[in-house]
Amino acid sequence: MHAISLKAPYLIFVGDEARRAYVKTGAGLVQWRRELCAGQLRLTADTADLGLPDMTIEAAVAAGVKSVIIGTATIGGALPASWQAPLAAAAAAGLDIVAGLHTRLADNPVLSAAATGSGARLLDIRVPPAELPVATGKNRSGMRLLTVGTDCALGKKYTALQLEKDMRSAGVDVDFRASGQTGIMIAGRGIPLDAVVSDFLSGAAELLSPDNSPGHWDVIEGQGGIFHPAYAPVSHGLLLGSQPDAFVVCHEARREQVSGWEHYPVPAIEDVIARTVAIGSLTNPNIRCVGISINTSTIPASERGDYLAGLAGRYGLPCVDPLVEGTAAIVDHLLSQFRA
């Protein structure tokens, strides 16, 4: 398991990214680790606002900030040229730079020189452990729940974290298993599955959720989308390797096109359920859907209740917005389906 140790408090670097869907790393840290986030650094007035105090590097140092965390998740995971100078200034001031990019911070000569001069650390979260195994496909002890999505950046991680919280409140022995850079930053451990060579992807998923006691649940953070034109491979590998007993489908209300791939429609929830069962049955024939999680931030609050009730009636499953009412309804249904 990939473990990390980040120095708090954090300054969240948003750069010049204006699209809310692409600042999900920063938004996730603010949602789940708000007490560790001192401020945000935005390069333009149009940059997405995470609701943190705006800070310069100098102000952050004066406030005792220890780490600058790159809060964006760009397509392809590269480091834009416009970010190099401010990040180098932060490293030169002695602040650790933390990133979940595919581009390695240490491979940037400007950042490397700045960090070497000050003693700051350059921490790349999106680096998988060495010598990952090829999947065995063998069943493991313990129970597993995987969050899957109709698209990316719509609530798989948030749903998994809320499920862990609500299951623990219900007395369940449970762990959140992080499979992406933001989840790893939040949990302090995990494996960045989208950075794993494809031959070892399902093996990494097996390693992420190892054998456990019979009543223990691992809640595994989903990645990509099983219908996604670019990211479906990681979704397939994670599904096969995690061998989930249960899964929750995550969706954003009124999202009709795949984010960043607008020429592809978002699949219907029933199609995601059917395909997840069809693929997941290869390694766990007893896989089943136990709930639907909806990001309702795109619809008026007055419509939320009817929208969720309509989906619940259509699919015969509990349907919730995890950040509004929690996931207790899904947890209750899950436990009723898997009583010992």
pLDDT tens-digit readout, 214-237:
999 999 999 999 999 999 999 999
In a domain, 138, yes or no: no
The pLDDT of residue 12 is 97
Residue-number span of the structural domain to which 31 is assigned? 2-124
Q: What Cα–Cα distance (Å) separates residue 283 from each residue in 202, 234, 256, 336? A: 11, 16, 31, 23
CA 177 to chain CA centroid, Å, is 10
Q: Which DSSP symbol is given to 102?
A: S
Give me the CATH number covering residue 71. Answer: 3.40.50.720
Report the C-alpha gap between 275 and 234 in whole angstroms.
15
Which residues in the chain show pLDDT less than 50?
Answer: none
Residues 167 and 274 occupy one common structural domain: yes
Q: Both 187 and 86 in a single domain?
A: no
Does 173 lie in the same domain as 61? Answer: no
Do residues 285 and 165 both lie within one domain?
Answer: yes
The answer to whether 128 touches 196, Cβ cutoff 8 Å, is: yes
Cα–Cα distance for residue pair 133/165, rounded to 1 Å:
30
pLDDT at 1: 62
- What confidence score (pLDDT) does residue 340 get? 55
44 and 171 part of one domain: no
Q: What is the DSSP letter of 82?
A: G
Q: Which pLDDT does position 87 carry in this prediction?
A: 96
The DSSP secondary-structure symbol of 4 reads: -
| Residue 99 lies inside a defined structural domain of this protein | yes
Does residue 134 form part of some domain? no
CATH number at residue 224: 3.40.50.300
163 phi, psi to nearest 5 deg: -60, -45
Burial bucket for residue 5 (CB in 10 Å: 0-12, 13-18, 19+) = exposed
Q: What is the pLDDT of residue 103?
A: 86
Question: What is the chain's Cα-based Rg?
Answer: 20
Question: What pLDDT, on a 0 to 100 scale, did the predictor assign at position 80?
Answer: 87
Q: How far apart are CA 217 and CA 141, in angstroms?
A: 10
Query: Total domain count for the chain?
Result: 2
Per-residue confidence (pLDDT) for residue 20, from 0 to 100: 84
Phi, psi of 144 (to 5 degrees): -140, 140
Whether 129 is covered by a domain: the verdict is no
